[in-house]
Chain A
Amino acid sequence: MGNIVREHLLEVRDLRVSFDTHAGEIQAVRGVSFHLDEKETLAIVGESGCGKSVTVQTIMKLISVPYARLKSGVILYRGKDVGHLSDKEMESYRGREFSMIFQDSMSGLNPTMRVGTQIRESVMQRRDISREGAGKRAMEMLAQVGLPNPERIYRRYAHTMSGGQRQRVMIAMALSCNPKILFADEPTTALDVTLQAQILDLLNELKGRFGVATVLITHDLGVVAKMADRIAVMYAGKVVEYGDAEQIFYRPSHPYTWGLLSAMPNLKQPRKSELYTIVGMPPDLFAPPPGCAFTARCSYAMEVCRKEEPPEFFCGEGHASACWLLDERAEEALPPPGIPRLVREESVNGR
């Protein structure tokens, strides 16, 4: 499966990022690999502090340099290494090839500039286009993101707008130069459910219209189910399971994924019954444990989990999980109720 060398739109291999603090090194990202193809949506799911945002910020070169360090790893965009570009070289990628929207729409927009002007300026910076042309483009984008009365919105300032409107403006700005990849870092976390639904619908619609591939970072599995073609589940700085949406939701094979899925209350469960939980909390990446980082919280932990990091085991086309339970020597594990039994593929481990 892995033998066929195919050029992906974006490929990240063994990315490692550390933060240097006075007390020592915090290993925020500890060997993350994934890829993204044209026009697809990849969701990176995980709890806060699992390294999902750092991963994306590293690709966008947005991490603060003196404290954060890209230790190793390759970032390939259309086969070209973009991991070690200078800031100036990266500048030509940002906006035109990669674009990003944030959770906090206020900090993504300049409060002293009219939002239309802001979009116009960012278009002019990245494209050889006249002022009028850029202005027209900005207006067109504001209409594209479903803002009523774009002429009026064009002249407004970010702080006079509501959260939902600002998020739309940010999306308009991000897509104004037709980027190939859109990184969306928790784009709806700060919004209420009804606004979240609107923004997600909009993102799905624009994805089709602009043909942009999306990397969606979120902790909300509901959002993932709605948006993602493929999913990478991250835990403690590593991808522990990846696969397409059906595989992850209907045939998950990592106990952490089981836990995430079961911890959400569902309609079949009687009210006030005990919810399935993952005990404890993620490890401090200041001193990550040897072996599998999930061991301390895993109800299926074995001796081996403490000793050795699990390799990737393939459990289906494009579906892999880093868990020793998939080794043929492990005894069978019974997943929590509602999760189908583990299917072990014949294929040997991945690498």
Chain B
Amino acid sequence: MRNIERSIMDRDFVRLPEAGRFAHVIVRPSVSYWEDVFRRLGTDKVALASGVVIAVISALSVLVPLFCKYDYDATDLLHINQFPNAQHWFGTDAVGRDLWARVWVGARVSLFIGVGGAIVPQLVGIFLGGVSGYFGGWIDMLIMRVIDVGVCIPSLVYVTLIMLFMGSGPTAIIIAIAMTCWMDSARVVRGRMLQFKNREFVISARTLGASSFRIIFRHILPNILGQQVVSITSAIPTAVFLEAYLSFIGLGIQSPMTSWGQLCQAGSGYYRLYPYQLFIPGAFISVTIMAFYLFGNCLRDALDPHLRD
């Protein structure tokens, strides 16, 4: 106290020339919304770990088939049902195809279906739900009634029909998934649209004379998109699993083309004798689904930190 007293001089009691004039200065660094999201993701250990798993699996699925010395569909009847060894890291199957190569080719297909099966219905849902919510009226009526009817039909019925109709390529599977899953996202987006439609910043854009197109795409969608990215990430495991399921019951990918689900199906017959043929692709499915699921959760937290409280 005394030190302070001494350090203060009489001349300090002179009015500052700039007193009463205020400059608006911001001391915090500028951070955009997405920068903030990525920072939060970066500090989340679970997000990092699951992100790394996803990245490694995706990278290997691209690289391994390019450099692997075995083709995924090359049979070798002299080396059938070999357990994992130095030549064949994951062993071989009943017709001597190298499982290491097949697992990674299968990863390509499974991931393609997973990502496509998550994004396509989401896009359809965003579009139809957005139109429905923003414009309302008869178009809203129509879309909502279609959905009401659509959700009443069990999704396996569509899927089976579509697969029978379109054959069993990856594209067909994606379309089948899209047909069943767009309805949920359309409903969610419609709800969000209704909620944002009357927010003040949207009203403000309308008073500025902005067109509906501009309002939907520049103002409302970016605000909704974050949540939709989360639902895409959490839809990926569902799509991966659906593909596995379809292939497992024989409706999905057909040999010699392969996917994780198809591998499991092929391995399931002799799993007592050759358990690796079932459990290796099975493990990949589980790990991938879990990684996407955890990553989706972390992403949701990062997008909206209030959800945690």
Contacts and interface: CB of A to CB of B under 8 A. Distances in A.
Q: Do A and B come from one complex?
A: yes
A64 interface: yes
A74 interface: no
A292 to B, nearest CB: 12
A327 B13 contact: yes
A351 B94 CA distance: 90
Mostly helix, strand, loop or mixed at chain B's interface?
Answer: loop
Interface in A235-291: 279-281, 284, 286-287
Contacts of B15: 300-302, 331
A279 B13 contact: no
Nearest to A23: B28
B16 interface: yes
A299 B8 contact: no
A304 B13 contact: yes
Contacts of B273: none
Contacts of A324: 13
A89 interface: no
A297 interface: yes
Contact of B16 (A279, A281, A306, A311): A306
A297 B28 contact: no
B22 A279 contact: yes
A225 interface: no
B27 A303 contact: no
A302 B27 contact: no
B19 A303 contact: no
Interface of B: 1, 4, 7-8, 10-16, 18-24, 26-29, 39-40, 43, 309
A296 B16 CA distance: 10
A303 B12 contact: yes
A329 B287 CA distance: 74
A330 B11 CA distance: 9
A280 B22 contact: yes
B39 A297 contact: no
A221 interface: no
Given A302-B12, A302-B16, 8 more contacts: A23-B29, A296-B22, A301-B15, A302-B13, A302-B15, A303-B12, A303-B16, A306-B16
Interface residues of A, number: 30
Contact of A331 (B13, B27, B40): B13
B22 A330 contact: no
Interface of A: 22-23, 64, 279-281, 284, 286-287, 295-308, 311, 324, 327, 329-331, 351
17 contacts: A23-B29, A280-B23, A284-B28, A287-B27, A295-B16, A297-B22, A298-B19, A298-B20, A300-B19, A301-B15, A301-B20, A303-B13, A307-B8, A307-B12, A308-B7, A324-B13, A329-B10
A329 B19 contact: no
Contacts of B14: 302-303, 331
B12 A64 contact: no
Contacts of A327: 13
Of the candidates B7, B8, B12, B23, the one having the most CB atoms from chain A within 10 angstroms of its own CB is B12
A281 B24 contact: yes
Contacts of B18: 301
A2 to B, nearest CB: 15
Contacts of B43: 22
Contacts of A279: 20-22
A327 B12 CA distance: 11
A307 B28 CA distance: 22
Nearest to B12: A304
Contacts of A23: 28-29
Contacts of B16: 295, 301-303, 305-306
Contacts of A280: 22-24
A284 B19 contact: no
B28 A329 contact: no
Contacts of B7: 307-308
Contacts of A304: 8, 12-13
Nearest to A278: B22
A219 to B, nearest CB: 20
Given A280-B24, A286-B27, A299 B13 contact: no
A188 to B, nearest CB: 24
A296 B18 CA distance: 9
Given A286-B28, A302-B14, A303-B13, A22 B19 contact: no
A112 B43 CA distance: 37
Contacts of B23: 280
Nearest to A330: B13
Of the candidates B15, B43, B309, the one having the most CB atoms from chain A within 10 angstroms of its own CB is B15
A336 to B, nearest CB: 11
Contacts of B19: 298-302
A281 B23 CA distance: 9
- 3 tightest CB-CB pairs across the interface, nearest first? A280-B22, A299-B20, A304-B12
